[in-house]
Chains A and B, each alone.
Chain A
Amino acid sequence: MTTRPRSLGTTALALRLHALRGTTTYFAYLAPRAAIARTLAELRDDLDAYADDEGPITIADASSAGAAVLLDETCPAAADFFLLDVGAYQEADWRILDRRRSEFARTGVTVLVMTPDSFDAIMRVAPNLASWLGGNVLCHDDPALAPGQRERSLAGLREWSGKTDKEVLREAQEGRLPRDPEYAEWLMLLGRGDLLDG
């Protein structure tokens, strides 16, 4: 039995974040160190897709070299969504953020993109920050990095729906695809995210 946090791709995560717009919510999104910058960029693009539906959406992102710098020089951005690359954070950084949690507080949805080891550190040394994260911790499901995983995800979707890839693509092209988030993820896994705007 695995106790790792659940996995989601950036598209599905963006849908969740979009639903939480207007709340004060903190997410931890776990990815390998080498993939963090790209993951953050993909998430930004996926969130940007909502901009036309509800008027402007403000997204701020930042790469932070350390918590002290973040707090002393960069005010938490006033934006609907704040995406923060904290891939470089060590235990000491999480201790700082934990005790200075009040300074870090902001309205809106904040996503901290970090490594799994970094999240383990939060759970050991930053109890106040961990309390804010609550259950909002997800692993990045990256089809590009793990081809085997991508195929397993597709197989799971086919089994779930009883449809083939071809059927899903045809329905999407004809505008008949159901609006379940799983179908959005399916199209992304097939590299046909363009059909989401059809």
Chain B
Amino acid sequence: MSRMIAAEQGEGEGEDRLQRFRRWMAQLDPAGDPARAFAAGLYLSYPRAVSQRIAARLEIAPASTHLLIGGVGSGKSTELLAVKQRLARRTTDTRILYLDVSKGHDIAKVAPGVVIVQVGLALAPPEDERDEDEQYAVRTLRHLAEGYDAHPPDYDDNDGSFHVPGILHPPDRFTDEVVTARDAVQTLRGSQTNLVVLIDGLDRMTNLSAFERVVINDVAALTKDGIGVVLVGPLRSLYGIDHATTQRFDESHYQPWIDQSSSPEVSEFLQHVLRKRLPQEAIGDRELDNLAYFSGGVLRDLVALAQLACLEAYMGDSDTIGPEQVNTAIDTFGRNHMQGLRKTDLDVLERVRKTGSFVHTSDDDLALLMTRRVLEYRHDGRPRYVVHPTINQFLGDMLAETS
């Protein structure tokens, strides 16, 4: 293998070719940190983007609350970062925090207080810049987060201490912690006129009851103190959550997968997303269009397909991504998404493919949505269902085999 690489380098263009393809593939990182893609200027705003609406609302009402829900790979985290960027450009008196609460904490163990404690810790200035009140506030939050050793009332030297567990692990009581955290957050907020927190990471929660308790406690506590909140919620909450929970937000926003059939402008948007990352020398317009179609409007899948096609081009010694490489990428992607499907899943998919009808009555049905085998688009609030385009070609044959 080193001989092959040496041959490429010896030719002069070989090294350039590898570096060129690496640069293209790095710009297509589907699993990369959205913040990096944002910083590299690769974000493209979707027409009537959710971030536009949320930022406009927060500009007028910085203490408003927003629930953002969308499918896997639809771009929710990127839209939160877009909200941050838009607000930062338009306001000078608003501090904007972005938090992924799932980092460093298992969201299966989310309990009331988890969000507000993390907001407080994120607000804390560097240790050497804290005044006495702020030091106390941070200490309080750390105790809440990590637990602390306490003594019983009226203890004497013979009494031992006992450990109060932190709330970043399952607590016994919630309300007191939230109240305590709230006071600490207020101290750390200081004289900041407006504060908006963008909370990411809770979309992967599967326990909707736990999610509701966080909303009822943490979000409500932040809101009472005039802090704006944009919170990414679980997709399941679209289908299973009590409406009373969504009504605790001023607005709910749905981040859709992109329905290319809705307008030519929408279809062009997907092509523009790729064109921003791949120059004309890398891929022609027809191949871009093909990738856009087979992505089903799922932004992460769009970028993943393009990266796959780019890799195929490099491996096949081609200098550009042509139809053959695009077709191989689509085939490979589709095969992978056929794995793990049971006969009952195939029957559901076939029904969606033939009739567009999809009624999710079970966890298995919801799993088909979550894993993007079934895609949901929305127009005027009404859903439309299709099978992911990359698996269409395999469905008929798989059904015939299982029959």
Contact = CB atoms under 8 A, between A and B. Distances in A.
Interface string B74-102: 00000000000000000000000000101
A19 B333 contact: no
Contacts of B301: 131, 134
Contacts of B340: 119-124
A175 B3 CA distance: 9
Contact of B311 (A6, A16, A120): A16
Interface residues of A, number: 60
A137 interface: yes
B371 A127 contact: yes
Nearest to B300: A131
Contacts of B29: 23-25
A132 B30 contact: yes
Interface stretch (A82-90, A97-105, A148-156, A162-170): A97-105
A61 to B, nearest CB: 19
Contacts of B6: 53
A41 interface: no
A192 B103 CA distance: 47
A39 interface: no
B22 interface: yes
A184 B4 contact: yes
B1 interface: yes
A50 B305 CA distance: 26
A134 B335 contact: no
A5 B102 contact: no
A99 B102 contact: yes
Nearest to B342: A124
B60 to A, nearest CB: 31
A83 B28 CA distance: 22
Interface residue SS majority, chain B: helix
A52 B2 contact: yes
Interface string A39-69: 0000000100110111000000000000000
Nearest to B201: A102
Nearest to A1: B397
A65 to B, nearest CB: 18
A119 B102 contact: no
Nearest to B30: A134
Given A49-B2, A98-B204, A134-B304, A3 B22 contact: no
8 contacts: A5-B339, A23-B29, A26-B31, A96-B108, A131-B72, A131-B301, A175-B3, A197-B1
Interface of A: 1, 3-6, 11, 14-16, 18-26, 46, 49-50, 52-54, 95-96, 98-103, 105, 107, 116, 119-125, 127-128, 130-137, 175, 179-181, 184, 196-198
Given A131-B372, A132-B30, A180-B317, 17 more contacts: A3-B335, A3-B398, A16-B315, A19-B22, A23-B22, A24-B33, A105-B33, A107-B33, A123-B340, A134-B336, A135-B332, A179-B4, A181-B315, A184-B1, A196-B1, A196-B4, A197-B1
